[in-house]
Homo-oligomer: A and B are copies of this chain.
Amino acid sequence: MIVEMRKGASSEEIDSVVEKAKSLGLDVQLNLGIEKAVVAILGSNTGQLPTELFAVLSGVENVTRIMKPYKLASRGFKEEDSLVSVDGIEIGGRRIVVMAGPCAVESEEQLVEAARVVKECGACILRGGAFKPRTSPFSFQGMGESGLKLLARTKEQLGLPVITEVIESQDVGLVSKYADILQVGSRNMQNFALLTNIGKSRCPVVLKRGFSCTVTEWLTAADYLLAGGNNQVILCERGIRTFEDSTRFSLDISSIPVIKNSSHLPIIVDPSHAAGHYSLVPAIAKAAVAAGADGLLIEVHPNPKEALVDGLQSLSPSDFARLMEELRAIAKSVGRYI
């Protein structure tokens, strides 16, 4: 941490910074420049210290953190890539893992039909929401536990592992009983009670990026999961909120190489929520694979026009089949396969 003193700060003010650092067990190196003094504070866990501890002291102009606030999710902590394994399917390896299915579980017929389609096209994990966080209280809120049961039954029938969202910390146990992968939605990325509970479980988890959270905050949220002992963590980029309004969110394609540089965790991409419109999904999905994503989470509905939720961003079976063909070519061109 670098503490920059104000021009003309007194030696008492500088001393109080040095003492604060020492009281926290940290090393200090003092740079007395011509215009202002700068105090470098050294130690192995300065990333986890709030900068305010020093910024609040009198005579201090600015405090800059050199170390990142996340630790367990960082490449510095673990150099080699992490692999997450789900029913023998490895996420983070050479295979591009495609998870697909409807936004919400609506009925057995819809779910089984969707599962059949996505399996035929080469997806290896089935997605489907039973608990749906909805912006308006007047919208369809999901089927709840009966939706989870349909997911489990479909899994048995077709042999596709299942990913579904958990939205409350008290439901972690319930959802884990049925799901192979828990999904933490964008609005819950900083629901720390939920993260803490999932951290205690050993169920693989997809942590979606908060739509207004930085990569640094995202990896710090991942630390909540890892700190609890759950190291089956997959990150999922799904678009951030910007001023641009031609898409629902702006997919942050650069976050893929940034994560690959900074973290050992696998990262997948959800092009459907970012785009908000089915016609944009294929281009974004292809870009994600080309940029190095380890997988995709795609909404597919047997009949998007009848979908209860997010029909507009769902691919039809034939669109999905075509996209999978195109993705295979892209995957091959970057030395991977689907």
Contact = CB atoms under 8 A, between A and B. Distances in A.
Per assembly, the copies of the chain total: 4
Nearest to A309: B50
A336 to B, nearest CB: 12
A142 to B, nearest CB: 11
Given A31-B29, A69-B135, A250-B250, A187 B196 contact: no
B64 A2 contact: yes
A94 interface: no
Given A137-B224, A312-B55, A330-B334, A283 B291 contact: yes
B311 A52 contact: yes
Given A279-B257, A290-B289, A310-B52, A214 B246 contact: yes
A264 to B, nearest CB: 14
Pick the most buried of A256, A292, A312: most chain B CB atoms within 10 A of its CB: A312
A56 B242 contact: no
A217 interface: yes
Interface string A220-238: 1101100100000000000
A170 interface: yes
A304 B4 contact: no
Contact of A40 (B40, B141, B274): B40
Given A38-B66, A283-B291, A333-B329, A48 B139 contact: yes
Given A29-B29, A193-B168, A244 B214 contact: yes
A191 interface: yes
A280 interface: yes
A56 B304 contact: yes
A120 interface: no
Interface in A53-71: 53, 55-57, 62, 64, 66, 69-71
A261 B286 contact: no
A211 interface: yes
A108 interface: no
Contacts of A290: 283, 286-287, 289-291, 330
Interface in A36-91: 38, 40, 42-45, 48, 50-53, 55-57, 62, 64, 66, 69-71, 76
Given A137-B223, A258-B246, A280-B254, A76 B330 contact: no
Contacts of A153: none
Contact of A214 (B7, B245, B282): B245
A252 interface: yes
**Which 10 pairs, one residue from A and one from B, show the smallest C-beta to C-beta distance?**
A212-B212, A290-B290, A287-B287, A257-B283, A52-B312, A333-B333, A329-B333, A287-B291, A33-B42, A253-B253
25 contacts: A29-B29, A31-B40, A31-B42, A34-B44, A45-B138, A48-B138, A50-B309, A56-B304, A56-B305, A134-B192, A137-B224, A138-B223, A138-B227, A211-B212, A214-B243, A214-B246, A215-B246, A243-B243, A246-B254, A246-B262, A247-B254, A250-B252, A254-B275, A283-B290, A330-B330
Given A56-B311, A212-B243, A258-B280, 10 more contacts: A2-B64, A4-B66, A31-B40, A34-B42, A56-B278, A57-B305, A133-B191, A134-B192, A137-B223, A260-B283
